[in-house]
Amino acid sequence: MKIYFACSIDGGRTHAHLYPEIVEHLKNFGEVLTEYFSDDNRLFKTEKGRGAHEIFERDMNWIDQSSVIIAEVSTPSLGVGFEIATVLNQGKPIICLYKKQDNKKLSAMIAGNKNLHTIKYDTLEEAKQKIDEFFSNLKNENLQ
C-alpha cells in the first residue's frame, strides 16, 4: 500500500516534532511516499531549488499513486487543505490527525466533513492506536 503523508510545510512547522514518529508508525502499513516531509533537514535540502510547478506536479502524482492519505492538520496549511479536497474528489480514504490544543480548534471545513475520518489526539500513542484502528477497519472493508 502506498501512503501519502500530508503536513504543513510552508504554513509553519509548529508540530513538525510529531511528524517523524507518525511517519515511522505509518510505515507498518505500507510505503510512505512523502516520508521525508517529516525530516526538516532532508525536506529543505530536497526542496531547495525546486519550482512551485515542479513541486505541485510531483505531489499530485504521489497523491494519484497513493491508496490512502494521512494528513496532520494541527498546523493549518493551505496546501494540505488543497490536498485534502483533491483526495476527497478522488474518493480515497483519508485521515485527518489533529492534536488537541488550548484555545485552538479544528477548522469547521475539516471537522464538519462527514467524508473525512478525523482523529483528535492528546498523545502520539493515542494517535497511533487510532491509526491502527483505521487501517484495521480499512482492511476489513476491502475484504467484504
- Complete DSSP assignment for 73-108: -SS--HHHHHHHHHHHHHT--EEEEEE-BTTB---H
Q: Which domains does the chain have, with CATH numbers?
A: 2-143 (3.40.50.450)
pLDDT reported for residue 144: 41
Each residue's pLDDT tens digit, 64-87: 999 999 999 998 899 999 999 999
DSSP conformation class of 11: T
CA–CA dist 101, 28 (Å, integer): 27
The string over 26-56, giving b where at least 16 C-beta atoms fall within 10 Å of a residue's C-beta and e elsewhere, is beebeebbbbbbbeeeebeeeeeeeeeeeee
Region of poorest pLDDT, from 9-18, 84-93, 113-122: 9-18
Q: Which three cell numbers stand for residue 87?
A: 483526495
Each residue's pLDDT tens digit, 22-67: 999 999 999 999 887 676 566 656 667 778 899 899 999 999 999 9
